[in-house]
Structure 1
Amino acid sequence: MNNIKLQSAFFNLRNNKFFELFVVSIIIFSALVIGAKTYDIPADVLMLIGWLDTGITFFFLAEITVRFIGEPEKKRFFANAWNLFDTLIVVISLIPVEDSEMALIGRLIRIFRVLRMVSIIPELRLLLNSLIKALPQLGYVILLMFIIFYIYAAVGASFFGQINEVLWGDISIAMLTLFRVMTFEDWTDVMYETMAVYPFSWLFYLTFIFLTTFAFLNMVIGIVVSVMEGEHADEERAKALEEGTPTIETLHNEIMELKELIKKSN
């Protein structure tokens, strides 16, 4: 009976908005503590930061414990990838590696604690899940973009290599220069330099910018937005099923079934 009350209390606590906001504030504070260690600060302040970092680690351990005890089905807790990620980060943070050869890894693990904001905030989880699910479709777009980059880099290295070897010396350097052009980082300087020798070389740059910046990047944005809309729709459907409220699809199916029954009865 006491276990049920404890589980119910922890379940309500972990779903409490103020508790979630408090955890997010601690994660932000943890990021500030990590950033403070990169400055040249007095030894006393550094020791205080070390104690704060230890306290933050134990707070995260307590928070993970609350979430685990509050889970109605314990087996499902570690089935969630985000719960597994949070647990690994917290457990590894507990290992004392500051005075060992693993000190750098220990610091990296503490830096990754900032990523716990993604597991806490549902909107961030939706964004990241959408991006991961869009990767297979984005892969083909990126491959096509690489082909365009390679072709233009080969042309640029062949024609403009004698003009400026720093920018067009070989195909790899030419691809870096084209990335600069695509991001509009002083790309006109590059264009005017080649136009002094090849007056119509502006066609090379404009067609490249149109294909990459305007066409392919908009395709990437469109794919991510499309996947995000699908993820949002799936999430709304799952919430509706949990709450027992009918979705548009179920209502549509019921209407179609009623129409079929009316036709049969007539």
Structure 2
Amino acid sequence: MMIEKNILEVKNISLSYQKDPIVKELDVSFMKGKISVIIGPNGCGKSTLLKGISRLLKKETGSIILNDTNMDELSNKEIAKQLAFLPQSATAPEDVTVRDVVELGRYPYRKVLQKVSQEEKIIVDEVLQQTVLFHLRDENINNLSGGQKQRVWIAMALAQKTEIILLDEPTTYLDLGHQIEVLNLLKELNETTGQTIIMVLHDLNLASRFSDYMIGMKNGRVVYEGVPTEMMTPTILKDLFGIEAYIGEDPVDKKPICLRFD
């Protein structure tokens, strides 16, 4: 029997905004090479947790273990070589091209004012091909569609060559077609590169469909976790969201789906 390895462990972490506690003494682990999706009601601390893991928000208590090393012992650049974070609403300055943005993913490997090397240009080209953006490489990112822009941000994260990618609601502001496009891309990357994907999603059916593991948060704590068949139950969804859920089975992948909720 194969033992799953945890690539990231969060232990007793507390996070606050202006002294208002959001995440409270939380414990959670993320398995290497898996897609983990965090679900829960608005304001429960999902986005705050990702910001704490990526060190955009200073923790008040606890520790975060990345590849068996306490993150307190690592520099920001050392962390950025292992972990990439895409916030909910990434924005780019005017007059920057797709290639410019993707090249930013190489910053952890460069010294101050060092130019992009030929080796890095090759890495960027490979990522642009992988995300089907090579033909748009010289386009202004602000002229792209929502789905294309999101692919650019994912490409930037890929250029970092990290083992872990954190994404805060990567489908926000996208229509359904572009949501599926982005999530299919992430699933394909996970399957081909073995990268660990940790993301927050609001749509329960998309969370079930695209996850290996689901984590349910409420009031700043992890209260449920398990595979989709364990998480997508009327009892759990009622406790998390206060809804009466009717659960069925996806005819294609046999994963649980919410047919209706009241």
TM-score bracket, shorter-length normalisation:
under 0.3
- How does the TM-score come out when normalised to structure 2? 0.24
- How does the TM-score come out when normalised to structure 1? 0.23
Larger Rg: 1
Higher relative contact order (CA 8 A, sep 6+): 2
Bigger helix share = 1
Bigger strand share = 2
